[in-house]
Structure 1
């Protein structure tokens, strides 16, 4: 470690005296803020949503992974604010803001760049700035560093920049922010040392790589791996369905092989902030190097087409059962969150299913034990504030079909079968619970 600023910050981190600022208090930022406070750091969380600030001030969590009891345990060490001038009080600043795609599926870094400009306006000497938002390799050095230089501070001397990709998995009870290994890298050795020291104080294991481009590539590779393999089983589902073979049974049997196979499962499309989006950050950047990304783009095409396949299959089933189309009938959509047992709506394929069904003339009602009301979303604004049915409102004869989009555990699947209409199951939820498949079609 060289330089007075770096040495001083390293000592402050070691003594838990460095104030940590976490920008963006969503599914990534809030768990990190709580974990840092649990590790003994004073933490200030920043967010532009006054509703989140108010709830945190009241000790009420809005993230499943952070129970309100965890907030109570760090009261006094964790506070939240919308006053970004208080970044001047922070010696470690972590950026946890969204990195979506625009309408042309190109990276939208506006949240990152706007946040970095705000940091540059308030940052003080001897500060470590870490980006956690997933992005294309080179972003930290090519986008953040030039903006931070406008502060008048010299990166590597009195301002330190690093990248450490978030690895949150909403709904996964086996791993928490503290137990998931953290990949880190700095723009220079001093920044890398500082990032390693900070995260080493917060999480159980730190994996350091030699530069930020590598760290950025690590995260994007993880998500491409999942996207490509999910696309593969989605394609296999179509092939095996045409052959009269149950792809779920195939995967479960193949998974008994103790080596050389990792099970992935088909579904109605991809959801969550990472897997449907992050691969396209690399395909976009690869064009700069004139390198094709055919595998990634094909996987994206397959996964994007899955909601259309599900609706087409549902239409076939309804036509066979009643001889009528979808127009005017009511469909019960089961689960609107993007994955089971969470309230996370980001990029949920259920919303695309709802849109396609209503465009076909159907009426769509939904149940979801985790989503009583559809929240504001970047897309599908027409569904904001639409409320879930009370399970007591479900009655035989009301619905043309039931479409299971998300297999939450807190759903009465036996009750769905009692509605007496076809059940289109995109998650194998009925079979996995050992229920009869008389009216069930896997799609």
Structure 2
């Protein structure tokens, strides 16, 4: 079967007569699927989790920051269906891959999901298909990993099908920027692949940013996340230094950001979390070794950020000793906020999980309250915590704990009331400061 011309495919995109398949219906794939559906495209969503597929087909998102109403609207339009059956790829025109790219236990890239997905796509690949990888990865993955797997079926990229890379830029819980309002970087394996991918994303988002190759697009994504990881490490280190000097780093940042040029505010915390910032920099450090290069700056930033939970635990131990003359062993600690950042129900790489384990190892009894996470689900790194449930907040309940540790600053928590009831508050997010609450029993960490 001859491949349709790129011009014909672009015309079909303009007419919305172009079928989009999205593999992976998580934090990245689902918003993309809903955006494509809202833009008028028929969308097939594929996932290997039957519970997830059933949930979506019932009209439920499963994520706090994605309204069920968006899923219901997509289902009601008859343009969106979730499925376990990859055979449906044969009827799609574009295949967008949005699967996880975690690290191994040895902090090396794990492209197992990407490779498995490419192998699942291969039997259904046909001439004219557009295949786009969106998963964050090291520069060269699209060409060196995905392309050979797809071409093993006999079709050739740039001749029979079109291959591109366009990094996801999702920020769960961001009320100002959603999928459709965030520009998309696109790099294609050849001019035709770039034209076709750009035409599709032009129909989905506010603007596209074409670059010369998939490797450049892959490098763009890593650069964005490394920039953030390095700057967070900087303010985390400043936090430690200024604390020793008796200076409030949050006050420093608030004053510094009044400068209208040459400065961008970043904020310290108990460690890095989420699906990008703690992981992506190590994809580049791993790839750089192939070229005999050591990424010292990036690796140092990783060391600083990884050390933050230990710093917080030490600050909590010191505060307990000063305020109550006791150590962590036998202390009752209430952790407020379990998610990796405010106002989401996302536990991926959350430093709060590490904090619980470290406090428990030092003899403390730890409960948690998170208005968005009723129970801790199993995770690869913190399986021992699975099943723990959020406890309710009440003045009497809070007062029974030796200390409250604020790890995520959800808006749904009344920090003034929390501080009024608590014997000791160790605040890693300046939540009490922003609520206008201060006092000798409130310690910033």
TM over 0.5: same fold? yes
Preserved CA contact (<8 Å) 1:422 1:440: yes
Give the distance between the partners of 1:186 and 1:331, measured in 2 at CA. Answer: 52
Offset at 1:397?
Answer: 4.2
After superposition, the C-alpha distances for 1:239-274 in whole angstroms (9 at most, x for unaligned) are 000000000000100001111000000000001010
Give the distance between the partners of 2:386 and 2:422, measured in 1 at CA. Answer: 30
| Candidates 216, 219, 222, aligned match of 2:218 | 216
- Corresponding position of 2:364: 362
Preserved CA contact (<8 Å) 2:186 2:197: yes
- Corresponding position of 2:156: 154
Preserved CA contact (<8 Å) 2:87 2:124: yes
Give the distance between the partners of 1:3 and 1:85, measured in 2 at CA. Answer: 19
- Corresponding position of 1:69: 69
- Corresponding position of 1:30: 30
2:383 equivalent to 1:373? no
Offset at 1:393?
Answer: 8.0
> Size of the alignment, in residue pairs?
442
- Corresponding position of 1:142: 144
After superposition, the C-alpha distances for 1:215-260 in whole angstroms (9 at most, x for unaligned) are 0000000000000000000000000000000000001000011110
Give the distance between the partners of 1:41 and 1:433, measured in 2 at CA. Answer: 44
| Candidates 387, 398, 402, aligned match of 2:400 | 398
| Candidates 164, 171, 175, aligned match of 1:169 | 171
Offset at 1:211?
Answer: 0.6
Give the distance between the partners of 1:397 and 1:208, measured in 2 at CA. Answer: 56
After superposition, the C-alpha distances for 1:164-197 in whole angstroms (9 at most, x for unaligned) are 0000011110011000000001100111011001
Larger deviation, residues 375-384 vs 43-52: 375-384
- Corresponding position of 1:250: 252
Give the distance between the partners of 2:396 and 2:38, measured in 1 at CA. Answer: 44
Instruction: In structure 2, list runs of 5 or more residues that go unmatched.
Output: none
- Corresponding position of 1:78: 80
Partner of 2:290, secondary structure, is helix
Preserved CA contact (<8 Å) 1:5 1:125: no
Larger deviation, residues 420-429 vs 374-383: 374-383
| Candidates 265, 268, 272, aligned match of 1:266 | 268
Give the distance between the partners of 1:66 and 1:204, measured in 2 at CA. Answer: 20
Offset at 1:36?
Answer: 0.4
Partner of 1:230, secondary structure, is helix
Residues 258/393 of structure 1: CA separation in 2 closer, same or farther (3 Å cut): closer
Give the distance between the partners of 1:283 and 1:316, measured in 2 at CA. Answer: 36
Give the distance between the partners of 1:318 and 1:106, measured in 2 at CA. Answer: 38
Runs of 4+ aligned residues of structure 1 deviating over 4 Å after TM superposition are none
Q: TM-score w.r.t. structure 1 length?
A: 0.97
2:338 equivalent to 1:336? yes
Give the distance between the partners of 1:317 and 1:67, measured in 2 at CA. Answer: 41
Residues 394/275 of structure 1: CA separation in 2 closer, same or farther (3 Å cut): farther
Offset at 1:152?
Answer: 1.5
Give the distance between the partners of 2:422 and 2:285, measured in 1 at CA. Answer: 46
Offset at 1:434?
Answer: 0.6
Within 5 Å, give how 1:37-436 maps onto structure 2: 37-75=37-75, 76-392=78-394, 394-395=396-397, 397-436=399-438
Preserved CA contact (<8 Å) 1:401 1:421: yes
Q: TM-score w.r.t. structure 2 length?
A: 0.97
Partner of 2:179, secondary structure, is coil
Offset at 1:420?
Answer: 3.5
Offset at 1:358?
Answer: 0.6
Larger deviation, residues 51-60 vs 164-173: 51-60
Offset at 1:70?
Answer: 1.3
Preserved CA contact (<8 Å) 2:416 2:435: no
Preserved CA contact (<8 Å) 1:9 1:127: no
Offset at 1:83?
Answer: 1.2
After superposition, the C-alpha distances for 1:135-175 in whole angstroms (9 at most, x for unaligned) are 00000000000000012111111211000000001111001
- Corresponding position of 2:18: 18
Offset at 1:439?
Answer: 0.9
CA RMSD across the alignment: 1.4
Preserved CA contact (<8 Å) 2:137 2:280: yes
Give the distance between the partners of 2:409 and 2:180, measured in 1 at CA. Answer: 27
Partner of 1:183, secondary structure, is strand
